């Protein structure tokens, strides 16, 4: 198996400062970047999902809200809707739940990462970006345990460093990089 074929999905978690970080990350991905990207950005329950418009305006990946039972496709980035947890089924389709907040968050990064880890195993990359809490660190640990790759934004470069720091402490991460470096690395896959 060539490295280019190995990874089937990328999950990304971001919180405070996430909008700018996601813009930088997606802007720097290559025009023909083909691994589906699945994003949980902490967002208030009643917000219109403005993130999608902003990321779409970059004219890089096609960005849309995740739909129930949808299968992630190459060339797309999917954003979890406000007030729903986004889970990945074993058949690699999206499911939503409205159960309790996890780490005070719905959608929660841990919920996405943990279910994605089981669905994709060693074909998954988990990326934790800027944020002011520790959501995502349990999920990233699970990604590693099941053979996936763990990448964390260099806390020195993060708008808010506590979420990346918590992620780095939770497991042995593969790469700690700036946003531009993360994009450059992903472009080599």
CB contact at 8 A, 43 and 82: yes
Record the tokens describing residue 79, joined without a space.
């954003």
Report the distance separating Cα 125 and Cα 8, nearest Å: 8
**Which CB sits closer to other proteins, 72 or 164?**
72
Q: By CB under 8 A, is residue 181 in contact with other proteins?
A: no
Q: Which is nearer to other proteins, 144 or 175 (CB)?
A: 144
User: Is 85 known to be catalytic?
Assistant: no
90 binds other proteins (CB under 8 A): yes
Which x/- pattern over 10-39 shows residues binding other proteins (rule: CB under 8 A)? Answer: ------------------------------
- Residue 81 binds other proteins (CB under 8 A): yes
Distance CA 96, CA 112 (A): 10
CA distance 89 to 5: 21
Judged by beta carbon, residue 57 or residue 145, the one nearer other proteins is: 145
Q: Does 46 bind other proteins (CB under 8 A)?
A: yes
Burial of 95 from C-beta contacts in 10 A (0-12 / 13-18 / 19+)? middle
From the list 3-11, 29-37, 49-57, 139-147, the region that binds other proteins by CB under 8 A is: 139-147
Residue 174 interacting with other proteins (CB under 8 A): no
Give, to the nearest 10 degrees, the angle between helix 137-145 and helix 109-120.
10
């Amino acid at each position: 198996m060539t490295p280019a074929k190995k990874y089937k999905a990328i999950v990304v978690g971001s919180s405070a400062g996430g909008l700018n970080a996601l813009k930088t990350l997606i802007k720097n991905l290559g025009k023909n970047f083909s691994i589906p990207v699945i994003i949980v950005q902490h967002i208030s329950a009643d917000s219109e999902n403005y993130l999608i418009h902003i990321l779409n305006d970059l004219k890089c990946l096609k960005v849309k809200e995740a739909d129930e039972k949808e299968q992630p496709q190459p060339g797309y980035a999917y954003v979890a809707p406000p007030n729903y947890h986004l889970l990945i089924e074993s058949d690699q389709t999206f499911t939503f739940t409205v159960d309790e907040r996890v780490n005070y968050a719905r959608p929660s990064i841990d919920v996405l990462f943990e279910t994605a880890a089981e669905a994709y195993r060693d074909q998954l990359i988990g990326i934790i970006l800027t944020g002011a809490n520790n959501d995502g660190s349990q999920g990233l640990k699970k990604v590693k345990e099941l053979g996936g790759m763990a990448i964390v934004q260099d806390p020195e470069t993060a708008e808010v460093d506590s979420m990346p720091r918590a992620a780095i402490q939770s497991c042995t991460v593969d790469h700690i990089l700036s946003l531009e470096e993360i994009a450059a690395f992903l472009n080599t896959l």
